[in-house]
Structure 1
Amino acid sequence: MEKIKTSKTGIFSGSFNPIHIGHLALTNYLCEYEGLDEVWFMVSPQNPLKTKTELWSDELRLQLVELSISDYPRFRASDFEFHLPRPSYSVYTLEKLREAYPDREFHFIIGSDNWAHFDRWYQSERIIKENQIIIYPRPGFPVKEEELPETVRLVHSPVFEISSTFIREALDAGKDIRYFLHPKVWEVIKNLRNT
């Protein structure tokens, strides 16, 4: 009997406040060059550590993700964490994903900046033991590949020095930064700013 191929699904979790071309280019690279069949953009709900004023609404952030990925069939927007107890810890999100989708092989995607202090994450050792982790490079946060655990791998993707903070600050300053955002996202944001 032929074995059914397991779908390799990347989990890219974040605030996406808002999603920008750096997010899209990175995950596009992971699908085309690093063996992932698809990437799910896991939009994180309101984080208790972030003030409500700096975080756009859950619904708007999810909508902007959906708009920006609609033309690429290997991307999917997910509100999975919206339905989990808060605060949402990655260890529990990944556990619930494995339970809900046993046919998928999940790969948790994080930046090397997060890997630098991963030991401070809630139940970090369990995350490493139970999950495949992909680290992508971030400026100023080198990774010693030879010291990585068996379940963790570093990819040599292009480095994108764009942050959502930069995007928000530019928008607040009235800058026209349309090429930093997906065209559909730019249109929505522009219309919101003009109302």
Structure 2
Amino acid sequence: MLKIGLYFGTFNPIHIGHLIIANHMAEYSNLDQIWMVVTPHNPHKQKSTLLDDYHRLHMVHLATEDYPKIKPSDIEFKLPQPNYTVNTLFHLQEKYPEYEFSLIMGEDNLNSLHKWKNYEVILQNHDIYVYPRLHSGEMDPQFSDNPKIHRVGAPIIELSSTFIRESIKNKKNVTPLLPHKVWQYVEHNLFYKK
């Protein structure tokens, strides 16, 4: 059975940190593929701050085309908004019964997992692959010894899409922080300038 790691994000924009984590999970865990699931509307973020769904998905395509184990996914575009991870997992399991789906998240997200809708159902049915973060806070005891949670010693990346957007707005050079084709697309379309 193919093991798929789901890496959710608004990817506004996708940057080298996302790719480093996704590639590390593809190469150094027992996951066969990583799907970069572009979230149309994160329930915890303002929709107005997001680029159009199509642009963000296109940037993920541009960023991942040289990585055969990393695939863009628009699966959440077809689901009611705002969407919750538990619903997406249920939908994917129905659509692809031949695949085994796991979640990929940072330690900071793991620490707030207990606030997610039906998180117990997620933990019961899916493995979670966790990458380290510098400032993740105290580990929730219920997650520290759970056999469904796998810690992966990926590089610690302290880079955010928010930082990149702010930098572009302030006319800073962010060329090294984005995959080259993504940087070209952002520049060509004058994204994040205002």
> Which category of TM-score, normalised to the shorter sequence, fits these structures?
over 0.9
Residue pairs, 1:40-51, within 5 angstroms: 40-51=35-46
User: Which of 29, 33, 44 in structure 2 is aligned with 1:34?
Assistant: 29
Map 1:32-181 onto structure 2 (within 5 A).
32-141=27-136, 143=139, 147-181=144-178
1:83-102 C-alpha deviation (Å, 9 max, x unpaired): 01122110010111111111
- Paired amino acid for 1:183: H
SS of aligned partner of 1:91: helix
Provide the identity percentage: 40
Cα distance in 2 for partners of 1:125, 1:144 equals 14
- TM-score, structure 1 as length reference: 0.92
For residue 161 of structure 1, give the secondary structure of its aligned residue in structure 2.
coil
For the Cα contact (< 8 Å) 2:41–2:83, is it kept in 1? no
SS of the equivalent of 2:49 reads coil
Gaps of 5+ in 1: 1-5
- Which of 14, 22, 32 aligns to 2:17? It is 22
| Paired AA for residue 68 in structure 2 | P
Could you list the per-position Cα deviations for residues 11-65 of structure 1 after superposition, in whole angstroms to 9, with x for gaps in the alignment? Answer: 0011111100000011101111112111000000123543333111111100000
CA distance in 1, matches of 2:185, 2:152: 33
CA contact (8 A) 2:9 2:39 kept: yes
Contact 2:111 2:140 (C-alpha < 8 Å) held by counterparts: no
Question: Do the aligned residues in 1 keep the contact of 2:132 with 2:153 (CA within 8 Å)?
Answer: yes
Letter in 2 for 1:11: L
- Across the aligned residues of Structure 1 and Structure 2, the Cα RMSD in angstroms comes to 1.9
Paired residue type of 2:52: S
The count of residues paired between Structure 1 and Structure 2 equals: 190
Q: Provide the secondary structure at the position in 2 that maps to 1:53.
A: helix
Runs of at least 4 residues off by over 2 Å: 46-53, 142-148
TM-score, normalised via structure 2 length: 0.92
1:135 partner letter: V
**Structure 2 CA distance for aligned equivalents of residues 144 and 33 of structure 1:** 25
One-letter code of the match for 2:47?
K
Distance in 2 between residues matched to 1:110 and 1:96, nearest whole Å: 19
Q: Give the whole-Å Cα distance in 2 for the aligned partners of 1:56 and 1:193.
A: 12
User: Which residue identity is paired with 1:120?
Assistant: K
In structure 1, what residue type is equivalent to 2:133? R
Which residues of structure 2 form unaligned runs of 5+? Answer: none
SS of residue in 2 equivalent to 1:105: strand
Whether contact under 8 Å (2:43, 2:83) holds in the other structure is no
